[in-house]
Chains A and B, each alone.
Chain A
Amino acid sequence: MEQIQTLNGVPLKKQIARALFKQKMRALLLIAPLLIFILITFVIPITDMLLRSIDNSIVSETLPQTTASLETWDPKAAQLPDEATYLALYNDLKLAIEQKNHTKLGTRLNYESSGMSSLFRKVGKDVSKMQASVSYKEQFLAADKAWGDLKTWNLLKLYSPEYTTGYFLAALDMKKTPDGIEMLPESDRIYLNLFARTIFMSIVITALCLLLGYPIAWLLANLPMRTSNLLMILVLLPFWTSLLVRTSAWKVLLQQQGVINDILVWLGVITNAGRLELINNQLGTLIAMTHILLPFMILPLYSVMRTIPPSYMRAAKSLGATDWTAFWRVYFPQTIAGIGAGAILTFILAIGYYITPELVGGTQGTFISNRIAYHISSSLNWGMAAALGTILLTLVLVLYWVYDRIVGIDKVKLG
């Protein structure tokens, strides 16, 4: 095809592209402040945080000579490293102790094997006493017999590389050994269980929200304007109350000496000795979370239901369908978009919820996010927190993908 030229000889296509490019740049300029804001306050910190889940540079940075020397050491030979490696360790530690980095390394290695923290704290004193005239190997072995243990050296070699899968394995209750990857003993496993519990309880919470929210959303969409506005305020009321206040209110209501138990005892439904355990367990988390997330289910349902004209139900009935058939065959299929939106919203909020399970969940009703928070603020094992967070994020994305395949994300409608 012949190219169309403008009057001054430039191809028209080029000219248009140039004009459009200017337009696009101007549009980009408008959103630039937001883009930069998100980049600095969200994308970069999150990426940095997630990278911590594989970052292991602390070992090779603190012990550069030792890790280099260990590259040639074969753990399968079941012999301790040679004198050169101990010398390298001495040199590395001497520098690390000057910079006070050796305890940090100890803390890091302690995540993989307990006892490492105290070993490295102690080594500070040991190294200062060592003399160049005697074999370093013997001096290290004399200082602490852990230096003569193959396990210690295996560990150092395993964690010499700059990146590690250690955190992820630990987050999945697995462990690295020189013979490959192994599951932790049954009694030590916590995270898989916690992930399963988080998913299961989030599903239950979503289902409860749907069961409780569907009729309310229907009422909201079908009542006369004034009544439905009043009802809508009641639905939104929890939004205007602090999350902490609501959760604390549930504590007051649900505890063993709380309002609900008192009333049940007073009514004679239960005896004073047989007060129900409604809080600090999974039940407590279910009740409080369902209450808190209910509006997120009701609102999308409502906005979809409002667009369904009542004539559909009437048409179905005039065609001979009973109330139930008309609902199930005609009304319900049209609300699936709302159910999808509400379920996704509720589920994703539930799976990452932190404060409510923390306050009312006890030990049995906590979620994976509570564990993440523990690693961030108490154990300071940020790598572990990052690994758990990454797994959680991946899990949500996978579930989202599955949902898209089964229901279709284009069917989700918020109004």
Chain B
Amino acid sequence: MSQSQGTQPFVLFDNVQKSYDGITLVVKSFNLGIDKGEFITLLGPSGSGKTTCLMMLAGFETATHGDIFLDGRSINNIPPHKRGIGMVFQNYALFPHMTVAENLAFPLEVRGMSKSEREDKVRKALDMVQMGKFGGRRPAQLSGGQQQRIALARALVFEPSLVLMDEPLGALDKQLREHMQFEIKHLHEHLGITVVYVTHDQSEALTMSDRIAVFNDGIVQQLAKPADLYERPSNSFVAQFIGENNKLKGIVKDLKGDTALVEFTNGQQAEALAVNCEGVGKPTLCSIRPERVRIGSQAGMYATEGKVIELIYLGDHIRCRMSVYGDDSFIVKIPNAGDGTMLSVGQTIRVGWDKNDCRALDA
């Protein structure tokens, strides 16, 4: 947690639970502190409870248990329109019967702002997203990317200190999405607002966030900076959900400090970094990133024999599927160094990795 000692973070979820039917908990126990100016992403597969958490913060769902604090105040009983939180919706939710300028003026109008002040702010907001010329258009006359910008401008025009985004880029094509990721990131840095962003796209989360909360099954699996999440997943769900990952099944034979001796399904044994294994004799799942595997002469001391099953040429690297420790779906990414180290199917080669790159997690 990056929150400083003693002071409460800007947004705080305190042991929040949510159930729709009173039988199953959609959100089981959600604790999260968000500092002012932070960009936090809630990442998880659909149905993991991330959107529900966002809706509770916005005020469209009520928490069944627990408190949500905004700027030190409990907001459980504050209706959504009094929370002053900006929100960008998945389908933009631009009002189709109003022009772009009217859409932007709407939040200012309901706040009783004068006409000249409104026009001034709307113009500034449109300029901010480079849509200055589109004020008179209807949302239906804009492209998806343009609508996205307007939705963003509308959520920012009344200068909220907290902005929520619910998969705002989900409907855009890949190129536009990547472009908008940077724009949102720049706006966030420029305006100093706090952003809570929901997505199921891990690369989007890694690109934009200060910290990421990975959701599954109604609980936060890991809350960490993007690099930590990728490099040091704390359990097998996170390891699998973020990036590509090799999983070797085995049983813990010995535990010494942070080193675990794991026996794999084919009977061979190897050492791994004990991160989240339950104890001697318990099953474990060893996670190794494909790009951390070394082959041939580069393979270090934790090395074994691997048999090449399949090779896929991908230009900058070669994807090699091989059989390692009895697992036939072990993937190795071999950089295309152009030095002629070409493998062939059926070949047996030495495979190895750094002990710290092989993380023994829960099974």
Residues on A lying within 8 angstroms of B by beta carbon are: 309, 311-312, 314-323, 325-326, 329-330, 333-334
Q: Of residues 134 to 179 in B, which have CB atoms within 8 Å of A's CB atoms?
A: 154-155, 158, 164
Q: Is B66 an interface residue (CB 8 A)?
A: no
Query: A314-B80, A334-B97 are contacts. A319–B91 as well, Cβ < 8 Å?
Result: no
CB distance from B147 to the nearest CB of A (A): 13
Task: Say yes or no: B87 contacts A315, CB within 8 Å.
Answer: yes
Question: Which chain A residues lie closer than 8 Å to B164 at the CB level?
Answer: 318
Provide the bound-state CA to CA distance between A36 and B80, in Å.
61
Q: Is A320 in contact with B91, judged by CB distance below 8 angstroms?
A: no
Q: Decide if A318 touches B106 in the complex (CB within 8 Å).
A: no
The 10 A-B pairs with the shortest beta carbon distances in the complex, nearest first, are A315-B93, A319-B107, A318-B87, A311-B93, A317-B80, A333-B97, A321-B110, A317-B81, A320-B110, A311-B89
Residue in B80, B82, B84, B107 with the greatest tally of chain A CB atoms within 10 Å: B80
Q: Which of A311, A320, A325 has the most CB of B within 10 A?
A: A320
B218 contacts the other chain (Cβ, under 8 Å)?
Answer: no
List 26 A-B pairs, Cβ < 8 Å. A309-B91, A309-B93, A311-B91, A314-B58, A314-B80, A314-B89, A315-B93, A316-B95, A317-B59, A317-B60, A318-B80, A318-B81, A318-B83, A318-B87, A318-B155, A319-B81, A319-B110, A320-B110, A320-B158, A321-B106, A321-B107, A321-B110, A330-B95, A334-B95, A334-B96, A334-B97
Closest Cβ of chain A: how far from B99's Cβ, in Å?
13
Rounded to whole Å, the gap between the CB of A342 and the closest CB of chain B is 18
How far is B85's CA from A330's CA once the two chains are assembled, in angstroms? 19
> Shortest beta-carbon distance, A333 to chain B, in Å?
5
A321-B103 Cα distance, complex, nearest whole Å: 12
Interface size class of B (residues with CB under 8 A): 20 to 34
Q: How far is the CA of A330 from the CA of B89 in the complex (A)?
A: 16
A317 to B61, CA, bound (A): 13
A315 contacts B89, C-beta separation under 8 Å = yes
Closest CB-CB distance, A19 to chain B, in whole Å?
37
Contact of B111 among A320, A329, A333 (CB under 8 A): A320
Contacts of A311 in B (CB 8 A): 89-91, 93
CA distance A311 to B93 in the complex (A): 6
Q: Which residues of B contact A334 (CB under 8 A)?
A: 95-97
How long is the Cα–Cα vector from A333 to B91 in the complex, in angstroms?
19
Q: Given the complex of chains A and B, what is the CA–CA distance between A333 and B96 in angstroms?
A: 10
Q: Which residue of A lies closest to B86 (CB)?
A: A318
| Chain B residues, Cβ within 8 Å of A333 | 97
Q: In the assembled complex, which residues on chain B have CB atoms less than 8 Å from the CB atom of A330?
A: 95
A325 to B82, CA, bound (A): 13
Measured between beta carbons, the chain B residues less than 8 angstroms from A320 are 81-82, 84, 107, 110-111, 158
In Å, the complex CA distance between A312 and B93 comes to 5
Partner of A312, one of B86, B95, B107: B95
- The chain A residue with its CB closest to the CB of B96 is A334
The CA-CA distance from A312 to B139 in the complex, in Å, is: 13
CB-based nearest B residue for A322: B81
CA distance A319 to B107 in the complex (A): 5
Contact in complex: B85, A318 (CB < 8 Å): yes
CA distance A317 to B106 in the complex (A): 11
- Chain A residue numbers with a CB within 8 Å of B82 are 320
A312–B110 alpha-carbon span in the complex (Å): 15
Cα distance A320–B86 in the bound complex, in angstroms: 9
| Chain B residues positioned under 8 Å from A316 (CB to CB) | 95, 106
Q: Compute how far the CA of A309 lies from the CA of B86 in the bound complex, rounded to whole angstroms.
A: 19
**A148 to B266 alpha-carbon distance, docked (Å):** 130
Q: How far is the CB of A305 from chain B (nearest CB, A)?
A: 14
Sample of 20 further A-B pairs with CB below 8 A, known A318-B164, A333-B97: A314-B58, A314-B87, A314-B89, A314-B93, A315-B89, A317-B79, A317-B81, A318-B59, A318-B80, A318-B85, A318-B155, A319-B86, A319-B106, A319-B155, A320-B82, A320-B84, A320-B110, A321-B81, A325-B110, A334-B96
Cβ of B154: which chain A residues have Cβ within 8 Å of it? Answer: 319
Q: How far is the CB of A283 from chain B (nearest CB, A)?
A: 38
In the assembled complex, which residues on chain B have CB atoms less than 8 Å from the CB atom of A318?
A: 58-59, 80-81, 83, 85-87, 155, 164
How distant is B31 from chain A, measured CB to nearest CB, in Å?
24
Q: Are B86 and A329 in contact (CB under 8 A)?
A: no
Q: Chain B nearest CB: distance from A332 CB in Å?
A: 10
- Which of A316, A319, A322, A325 gathers most chain B CB within 10 Å? A319
Output the least CB separation between B278 and chain A (Å): 42
Query: With the chains together, A58 CA to B83 CA distance in Å?
Result: 81
Q: In the assembled complex, which residues on chain A have CB atoms less than 8 Å from the CB atom of B89?
A: 311, 314-315
Within 8 A of A (CB), among B331-359: none
Bound CA–CA A315/B155 (angstroms): 9
Give the Cβ gap from B254 to chain A, nearest Cβ, in Å. Answer: 55
Bound complex: CA of A334 vs CA of B95, how far in Å? 9
Contacts of B91 in A (CB 8 A): 309, 311
Residue of B nearest to A331 (CB): B95
| Closest B residue by C-beta to A318 | B87
Shortest B155–chain A CB gap in Å is: 8
Chain B nearest CB, measured from A350 CB (Å): 28
B-side contacts of A314, CB under 8 Å: 58, 60, 80, 87, 89, 93
Q: When chains A and B are docked, how far (Å) is the Cα of A311 from the Cα of B58?
A: 12
Give the complex CA separation of A320 and B155 in angstroms.
11
Question: How far is B95's CA from A309's CA once the two chains are assembled, in angstroms?
Answer: 11
Which chain A residues border B85 with CB–CB below 8 Å? 318
Docked CA distance A319–B155 (Å): 7
Chain B hits for A329, CB < 8 A: 106
Question: A320 vs B111: C-alpha distance in the bound complex, in angstroms?
Answer: 7
Interface residues of B in 180-217 (CB under 8 A from A): none
CA distance A311 to B54 in the complex (A): 14
Q: Which of A309, A312, A333 has the most CB of B within 10 A?
A: A312
- Select from chain A the residue with minimum beta-carbon distance to B83: A318
Nearest chain A CB to B166 CB, angstrom units: 9
Nearest A-chain residue to B164, judged by Cβ? A318
Distance (Å) between the CB of A181 and the closest chain B CB?
Answer: 49
Cα A102 to Cα B95 with chains together (Å): 72
Question: How far does the Cβ of B35 sit from chain A's closest Cβ, in whole Å?
Answer: 22
Please report the C-alpha to C-alpha distance between residue A330 and residue B106 in the assembled complex, in whole angstroms.
Answer: 10
Chain B residues near A323: list those with CB within 8 A. Answer: 81
Rounded to whole angstroms, the CA-CA distance of A318 and B163 in the bound complex is 10
Of residues 52 through 110 on chain B, the ones whose CB sits less than 8 Å from some CB of chain A are: 58-60, 79-87, 89-91, 93, 95-97, 106-107, 110
Q: From residue A280, how far is it (CB to closest CB) to chain B in Å?
A: 45
Which residues on A sit within 8 Å (CB–CB) of B107?
Answer: 319-321
